[in-house]
Amino acid sequence: MRKRLRTGNKRSAEAHKAVLDAALGLIAERGPTGFAMEAVAKRAGVGKPTIYRWWPDKTELLLELFHREILPPPEIPEEADLLTELKLRMHELFRSWRETSAGRIFCSLVVEMQASSETVKKLREEALAPRRRQSVMAFQRARDRGEIASDVDLEGLVDLLYGWAWYRLMTGQLIPDSAFEVALEALAKGAGGVCSG
C-alpha cells in the first residue's frame, strides 16, 4: 500500500503528481468506466477530501491530466496541400486515440460529458477548442493558397471533418482503412470544389 502523503491546505507538488499518475494508471487498467476518485485517492496515498479540494469533480482532474499528456500536433510540410495536411492530422489523431495516454484520457472525458451540459461545455472549451483552431488554420492555409474559395465557411468544413472523425471514434473504427482515405479525399475535393463552383 502506498505511503500516505501529507498535503494540508497547500497543494504538495509530490502529492499532485501522485494523483495525476494514479489517475493515469487507473485509466490504462480499467478504461473510462472504471475511473473513480476514491480509487485515485487510494492509489495516490492521499485523502479523498484532498482530491476534491484540488479538483471539484472528475472532469477537472481528467482535463488537467489530458493537458499534461497531450502530444504536440504533427509537423506539416510548408508545401503540403489540403489533402496531405488532412491526412497527416487525421492519421495522427487516430493514432493518438488508439495508442496514447492522451487518447485514453480523451475517451474518459467523452464518457464524463454524458453527465451534464456543464461537462460538455468544459470539454468543448478546454480540450476541443485548441485542436479545432488548428484545423480551422489548416483550411485557412488552403484558402490562402487558392484551394478553397474566399467566402467558404471554414467552421462548417471543420464540423464535417470532426463529425466524421467522432463517428469513427464512437463506433470503434480507429484503424485507417480504404474508407478512411476515401472520406478525407472526398472532403478535400468537396472543399476545393467550392472554389470552382
38 pLDDT higher than 80: yes
The domain 13-55: what is its CATH number?
1.10.10.60
> CA angle, 10 as apex, 8 and 16 as ends, to 5°?
95
Q: What is the third-level CATH fold of 72-196?
A: Tetracycline Repressor; domain 2 (1.10.357)
Compute the radius of gyration of the chain from its Cα atoms: 20
Q: Would you place residue 197 in the very low, low, confident or very high pLDDT band (cuts 50, 70, 90)? A: very low
Q: Would you place residue 115 in the very low, low, confident or very high pLDDT band (cuts 50, 70, 90)? A: confident
What distances in angstroms separate CA 109 from CA 84, 131, 177, one per listed residue? 29, 15, 26
135 pLDDT higher than 50: yes
Beta-carbon contacts of residue 73 (< 8 Å; ≥ 6 apart): 89, 92, 131, 134
pLDDT of residue 32: 80
Spell 47-57 as b/e; 16+ CB within 10 A means b: eeebbeebbee
Structural domain spans, the chain:
13-55, 72-196
**Long-range CB contacts (within 8 A, 24+) of 134-137:** 134/73, 134/89, 135/89, 135/161, 135/162
Residue type, 40: V
| 3-state DSSP assignment of residue 172 | coil
The better pLDDT of the pair 119, 193 is held by 119
Beta-carbon contacts of residue 1 (< 8 Å; ≥ 6 apart): 45
Crossing angle of the two packed helices 101-112 and 13-30, in degrees rounded to 10: 80
